């Protein structure tokens, strides 16, 4: 798992739990975040999963990250709340094996700057009747990789960005383990 500097880590926890309770044919073996003080990394430490943290602004970040992932024999990389693009070398080394979760129904409401409350504000401003979450492959452009799995929910007339975010987040926690299962099923049948 790769978590963001400000993320809560709720998707990371959902994946750890899903793996531990047999709801996903995989287990979280490592959590990386660039900020050792990030709430998501504190949450990860409490689960007992190994945690790694070093700056993603180092010039050799790509080599460090690939070395870390290979050292832990990581097959699939899941991003949650990580707001930067991954270096091309990492995407190449883990081609079609890096996933992200986005709190809207891509291809709508994605792209640079579309994160957190900005997404839900845009959904409400557009008068959408439904929203949801998307798990997609990560490429060298924000939120543009192929969608693997989506779950949908209604947008209520009295929704605020916070109330919509909470409804979508509950879906995220189901969708991510399901998507990991779908990807692994595809990889094993190759
Ligand atoms: C989630 O809403 C996810 O869709 C987005 O960033 C948020 C991360 O939340 N990419 P958490 O840290 O997993 O709770």
Q: How confident is the model at residue 7 (pLDDT cuts 50, 70, 90)?
A: confident
Distances (CA, A) of 163 to 98, 119, 168: 29, 13, 9
Q: How confident is the model at residue 171 (pLDDT cuts 50, 70, 90)?
A: very high
Is the pTM higher than 0.95? The answer reads yes
The mean of the pLDDT values for the chain is 96
Rounded to 5°, angle at Cα 10 from 140 and 7: 55
Work out which ligand 1 atom sits closest to the CA atom of 102.
4
- Residue percentage of the chain with pLDDT more than 90: 94
Query: Which residues are marked as active site?
Result: 102
Q: 53 φ, ψ to 5°? A: -145, 125
Give the model's pLDDT for residue 188.
66
Give the model's pLDDT for residue 189.
63
Q: Is 19 in the pocket of ligand 1 (CB under 6 A)?
A: no
Closest Cα to atom 14 of ligand 1:
10
């Amino acid at each position: 798992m790769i978590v963001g500097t400000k993320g809560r880590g709720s998707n990371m926890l959902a994946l750890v739990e899903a793996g531990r309770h047999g709801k996903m044919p995989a287990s979280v073996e490592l959590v990386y975040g660039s900020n050792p003080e990030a709430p998501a990394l504190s949450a990860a430490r409490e689960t007992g999963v190994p945690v790694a943290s070093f700056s993603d602004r180092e010039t050799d970040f790509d080599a460090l990250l690939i070395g870390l992932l290979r050292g832990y024999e990581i097959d699939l990389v899941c991003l949650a709340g990580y707001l930067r693009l991954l270096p091309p070398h990492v995407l190449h080394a883990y081609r079609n094996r890096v996933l992200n979760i986005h709190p809207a129904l891509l291809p709508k409401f994605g792209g640079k700057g579309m994160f957190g409350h900005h997404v839900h504000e845009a959904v409400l401003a557009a008068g959408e009747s439904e929203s949801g979450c998307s798990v997609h492959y990560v490429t060298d452009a924000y939120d543009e990789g192929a969608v693997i799995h989506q779950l949908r929910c209604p947008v209520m007339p009295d929704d605020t960005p916070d109330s919509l975010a909470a409804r979508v987040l509950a879906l995220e926690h189901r969708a991510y383990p399901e998507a990991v299962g779908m990807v692994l099923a595809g990889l094993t049948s190759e």
